Each structure stands twice: as structure tokens, then as C-alpha cells.
Structure 1
């Protein structure tokens, strides 16, 4: 049984279905949605390049030998070997297992900053991307009709907190999106254009991070490329800076500046799914402790991989000092919480689960990075395949090629949307299908939008907001 169909869970299910004979085992996948979400392309959904279904890959289509159970895992009984879950209609159930793979992924990382939970929105699920797309369009349209210069400026100001992968891509591509919206709305409306220009108002994006540079976890050359592209688009990069307080009218920065805004995008990182805390097993930095073979110590029938697992990185050894100040036993850093590691850990988890059932031999997880790619939009990217630093259109081609190769489906549709975006203007419309209250920052299920009150038993995610 596999819990979660993200990068780690989907890869585990797919590999297991190929390794295990059809008549020897049943593979069950528990997931809240019937699709695999290709997270790296979410910024393109939020900025109107890709339609939402392009980044959602059908589980039934890509995993024909796997039994899909729709539901959210609510708890794990290790002694009885059962997983409790709640289905989309609010009904409760249990599933038994012989082998369990926990690949529940991660959710938005929260910090004790006043007002953030109320006024910020994360970027971990499809509902959040759809909400942000509508919200950006709506704020730009409202600004075009606003007579007050101060209110117009606030609606045209977008603040992104966190200059990692997600935050950098959202800011880089978001600035292009709002510039395009600004041009579309101002061109046929002389009054709006005059009002905006008289107040000196154009789309303004701020990217904040307490780190000394953007993309602090990557090579400095990639960071420099991203920094150069962002600044060329007039994105304001504030390093060594974060949010002290968020309010309805704007945000207070920790340097004392107040920035009027109606948009706060929270991309400061992720934390393991809250289910991990309820399992009752040892954790490190909130992630389940596992061996290099991805086994949970003391429970040979339980495996964990992806963001929920504290997987030792055998390529990055460190030495802990003993009590006498000398070198103690050899230890390893943990693998970063990235899609690249999660998908490859899924392959190893599948192999080792099969080995525990008598098919093949178990092996430890060991992976050498082959490079990174950051899509900055507008034929701009930063990439270092095999350690070779690239920028500009060549890096963009490598980045898009990587995404097409990594996606388990929808490749032609994604490529078609890219082609259409290159020759046609983006559609400046808001559908209003996802409201602000339906995508709270503090949620254990960013993949699901909350729904209004429903009759008893009709939906596990109800709210009275």
C-alpha cells in the first residue's frame, strides 16, 4: 500500500507495478485526488501559460495495474497494519497492508509571523495556483478602474516571500504576466492609462528572503543569472529581509518599512505532511527517520520516501564530534526536499519493497545530482546540466526539455500550450472558481480546496468562513 501520489508515491507505484508479477501482489494507492500533480510547472498555471489540466496527470491512465482509493490518510495503526482514511464525501474507512510506503509529501511551512496565516497564500497545490491567477488578474483590473492613486499602487504591488525555487519562479513569471495584463488593459482605455501613469503606477513585484542571495541553495552562477533576469524586469529583490507583520492593507518588513499591497505569496519552504507526527515513529526535523534502504527502523514492513522521510544522503558524509572533541562516528546529511530526490527515492522504495517480498535485492538510496533548472519565463532560465552553467534561450530549451522528459504524461498538450503562448496573447479573465477562504495558508491538504458548508457526510473539508 502506498500513501500519497506525489513524485515519490507515483514513482513507487509505477515501478512496483512493473516489478511485481500481476498474480503475486495487489498494489493499492491512497490519494485525495485522482491525478499526479507536476508541481514544477505550477507557476506557469498561475501566470496563464498552461491550463490547469496540463499539469495534472491521470493516475488511472498512468498506473493501470494499481488500485486507486480516493481519500486522505487520517492515521496509521502500526500494530494492526491498517491505515484509516476519509473519502471525498466524508465517509471513513480503513485499508489493511502487508507493506506500507509513506510518501505523503509536504505542506506549506508556517512561521510565527502575525497576520500571515490570515492574509498570505501558499503555493503547494493546484487550487492555490488557480486562486493566484484569478487574484492577480482581479487586482490589475481593479487598479485600472481605481481613481485613488494610493489604492491603485497597492493593488499593483505583489510581494513574494521566499527566494527559493518556487518564489523565484513566481516572481519572475508573475512580473511578465502583470506587465502583459497592464498593456492589454491600458491600450484600449486611455483614461485608465492616463490615471496609472499620472500616479506613476505600474506592476511592482518584491521578492524577499532572509538569505543573502536568491536561490541560496543552488550554485552561485545560477543565483547570479536569476538575480540578473529579475532585476532586468524591475523585480525588487530584498535579501536579508522578511515580513514582520501582515495586515489587510499591506505588510510591515523587518527593517521597518510598510509596503501597501493586496497580495502576499508565501513561498518560504515546506514542512512534512502533519500525518507524520501522528504515526508515532522517530523523526528528525519533522521527517520520518529511515535507513539508507528507506526502511523505518524497527518496522521492516514500513518504508518512507520523499519529503516525509529523513533520508541520509550517502554522497554527503559528515563527521560528528565525540564528547572529547575528536571525530566521532561517520554520519550523513539529509537529502533535500526536492522533486528530483523524491522521484528517485520512489524507484528505490519500489525495488526494496519488491525485495522484501522475494523479488530482487534491496539497495541503498544514493544519487548524484545531474544539475538543476529554474524557469524564469520569457525564454529565460538558469540551468547547469552536468555542471555546465547555462542561461538565456539555451537554458530555457534545456529546462523545458527536462520538464517534458520528467512528466509521466500530457507532454504533447504542454508543448502545445507553450507554442500557443509564444504566438497568442494570454487571456486576461478571472473565472472565480477558487475563493480566498478556500485556500488557507495553514492547511494539511493544499491539493484540496475547501468548500462551503454541506449536509452531514458531504465533504471532509467544510468551513463556515
Structure 2
């Protein structure tokens, strides 16, 4: 009987694991992908959805269409039992179901990382999925429109103050893209001519993009400051309220917008396993196998993968590693039932790309530092190559954005209550075309 392989999670690691398994097994295995949505989300382009550059369907790639030969099961994994070789999950209707397996690949990904800050969960919004991007787009439009209608100068100032917490990859791109989006929105509001708009990017780290090279950090910092973004390092939020935030340096900022991009933590499924973890991630060996469980593989943000290029360290939680780990996990799963030989995971970072909106970007492909238009060209080319679908539509949206304005219409599809910081997931809303 053909072995049954269950891949838990359809993000970068899970998607590429399932795709490679189909190609390698050639019908010799039955492959099931368990995921809350029927699409793969290309997260790096999500800030462009919030900014109105891309339509939301552009960054979502159909799993059934792009993974022929894989059975896609819609559901949220609740528990994996290695002893019974079983995955328990809630299906799309909320019913508890089970999947038996011969091999399982755990690629559940990550969720927003919360900190015990008063008012944070109630008044901040994260940025991990399409619903949050759609909500943020509507929210920015709404704040500009309400500011234009406000008679109270203090209310107007608060509505035109936007606070992004976390100057890592996501927070920096969100601040950069959304600052340009708000500038475009202001051009449709004569009542706000000359109004002061404040964007603040906060991080406790000493510099923007602390995980990347100092050169990329300096480029991003310069671009943001030239646009008027206030970059506050060594600083964060101490308390969040509905109409203001208090910073750790004691300052109080009246604002109606708090965007939380501090970081991520492994999906709670990892902790529920009861297996050994490191920094919250499931411990695996260099073959991406869980010690003591040769039929259990893990990759991506959920796995503590040893970095063989830096002894004693773990590979960082990046899409670049998740893709390659997913491919290698598939290779080693296939090797476990006689197709090829298993390999160790060893990969050096090939550089990073940061899209700063407009004609600005920062990149160091193969450690060659780039900025401005050359970096923008490389960044967009990389995303087009990496995107497993919708390339023509993405190109069309980019072209339209270059020659015409962005629609300044809030559709109100995602109320704030539907994207709480501690539980927002991409399956909570239907995505419009």
C-alpha cells in the first residue's frame, strides 16, 4: 500500500514540501496537505496589499490548482499524536476530524508574538494575513476621511498619527508602504492641505532592521527619515489605549492607529506536542527529523533546525530557509520509503531584500549591496520568480500603480473585531477579487 504523507501547514515550508513530494513520489505515495485556507499566502507582498498597490488575490495562490496530485484538506490542526500516528483537526465547519499518517511533515508556521503590555491585545492589530492587510487598508482610509471631517484639531492630529511597533522586516516595509499610501490619500482631501501627518516606527533594538546587515539598515533608515517617518530606536509601547499610546520613554502619543509587527512565535501546535523544544521551536536533527520519531519531520518557523554553517546556532525564521527546508524535508521523506538518499540541511543566506515602496528598496543579493532603483528591480524580480502563481496579474497591478492613482475606497469587509491581535488568521474572511 502506498504510504500516506500528511503535511501540516500550507505556508512556505509546507507548500514547497508538498509540491516536491508530488514530483518525487510519482504516484508511489498518497499526499495530504492540511491547511486552514485553500491558498498559499505570499507574505512578502502583503504590505503592498495594505498600501493598495496589489489586489489581495494577487498574493494568494490556489493550493488545489498549484498542487495537482495533493489532497487539500481545509482544517486547523489541533493536536498531533506521534504514538498513534494521527493528526486531530477542526474542519471548515468546526467538526473534530482525524487524519492517520505514515509520515508527517510539521510546517505549521508562526503566529503573532504578544508581550504583556496593558491594552495591547485590545487596541493593536497585527500583520500576518490577508484579513489584517485588508483591515489596515480600510483603517488608513477611514482615519484620513475622519480627520478631514474633524473640527477638533486634537482629534485630527490623533487620526493622522500612525504608530508601527517593530522595525524588523515586516514593520519596516509596512511603515514604508503605508506612509506613501496615506500621502496619496491626502491628495484627495483638500481639507487636509498642509496638515501634519506623523508616522512613527518604534523598536527596542538600536537600529532599523537589526537582523540584517548595517548597510541595509542605514539605507532603510535614511529613506524612512527622508519621508518624514520618525524612527525611534531603544523605545517601545508601555501601554495602549483606544485614543493614545504611552511609550517606554514616558511620552504619550494621541493616535487611533497601532500596528504590531514585533515578531512571531511558533504556532501553538508545537507546544501542544509535548516534545522537546528550543526557543519555542520543535527540536529536529540536521535531517529535519524529530529525535526518537523517524516518521515525524518538521521545517520552517515551527522547527529548531541546527545551522550547520554556524555551529551551535539555529537557522533564522525566514521564508528563504522555510522554502529550502520544505524541499529538503520532502526529499528526506521520500528517502524514508526508498526514493533517493536523505540529506542534511545546510544553507547559507543568499542575501535579503527590503521593498520600501515607490522606487526605493534595499538589497544585498549574494552580498552585493544595492539601493534605490537597482535594488527595486532586483527585489521585484525576485518576488516574481518566487511567487508560485499570479505573476502576470502582479505585473499588471504594478504597472497600473506606476501610471495611475490607487483606489481610495474603504470596503469595510473586515471589522477590527474580526482581526484581534492574539487570534487573527487568514481564514476569517473571504477575499474579494
Aligned to 1:333: 313
Aligned to 2:23: 18
Return the match for 2:160 from 136, 156, 160: 156
**2-side partners of 1:244 and 1:153: how far apart?**
21
Q: TM-score, normalization: structure 1?
A: 0.90
**1-side partners of 2:76 and 2:260: how far apart?**
24
Aligned: 1:427 with 2:431: no
How far the C-alpha of 1:449 sits from its partner, in A, is: 2.2
Write out aligned runs for 1:356-375 (5 A): 356-375=336-355
**2-side partners of 1:204 and 1:142: how far apart?**
16
User: 2:162, 2:255 within 8 Å by CA — same for their partners in 1?
Assistant: yes
Aligned: 1:401 with 2:406: no
How far the C-alpha of 1:253 sits from its partner, in A, is: 0.3
Aligned: 1:80 with 2:84: yes
Write out aligned runs for 1:288-299 (5 A): 288-299=282-293
Q: Deviations over 1:150-183 (max 9, x none)?
A: 0001001100000000000011111100011011
Aligned: 1:234 with 2:209: no
How far the C-alpha of 1:368 sits from its partner, in A, is: 1.2
Write out aligned runs for 1:50-449 (5 A): 50-186=54-190, 192-193=191-192, 197=194, 201-317=195-311, 332-443=312-423, 446-449=425-428
Q: Deviations over 1:400-436 (max 9, x none)?
A: 0000000111111101100000001000000001000
User: 2:131, 2:429 within 8 Å by CA — same for their partners in 1?
Assistant: no
2:201 is paired with a residue whose SS is: strand
User: 2:283, 2:290 within 8 Å by CA — same for their partners in 1?
Assistant: yes
Q: Deviations over 1:269-309 (max 9, x none)?
A: 00000111111110011100000100000000000000000
User: 1:182, 1:203 within 8 Å by CA — same for their partners in 2?
Assistant: no
1:184 is paired with a residue whose SS is: coil
How far the C-alpha of 1:203 sits from its partner, in A, is: 2.2
How far the C-alpha of 1:450 sits from its partner, in A, is: 7.4
Aligned to 1:4: 9
How far the C-alpha of 1:78 sits from its partner, in A, is: 1.4
**1-side partners of 2:26 and 2:57: how far apart?**
32
**1-side partners of 2:317 and 2:241: how far apart?**
31
Q: Which runs of 5+ in 1 are unaligned?
A: 187-191, 318-331, 452-465
1:256 is paired with a residue whose SS is: coil
Q: Which moved more, 1:85-94 or 1:155-164?
A: 85-94
**2-side partners of 1:307 and 1:393: how far apart?**
31
**2-side partners of 1:253 and 1:92: how far apart?**
43
How far the C-alpha of 1:21 sits from its partner, in A, is: 2.0
**2-side partners of 1:345 and 1:157: how far apart?**
40
2:332 is paired with a residue whose SS is: helix
User: 1:86, 1:92 within 8 Å by CA — same for their partners in 2?
Assistant: yes
Q: TM-score, normalization: structure 2?
A: 0.97
Aligned to 2:45: 41
**2-side partners of 1:399 and 1:92: how far apart?**
42
User: 2:75, 2:92 within 8 Å by CA — same for their partners in 1?
Assistant: yes
Aligned to 2:3: none
**1-side partners of 2:427 and 2:263: how far apart?**
19
Q: Deviations over 1:44-82 (max 9, x none)?
A: 000000000000001111100100001001111211111
Q: Deviations over 1:74-116 (max 9, x none)?
A: 1112111111111111122101000000000000000011110
Larger radius of gyration: 1
Aligned residues: 425
User: 1:99, 1:353 within 8 Å by CA — same for their partners in 2?
Assistant: yes
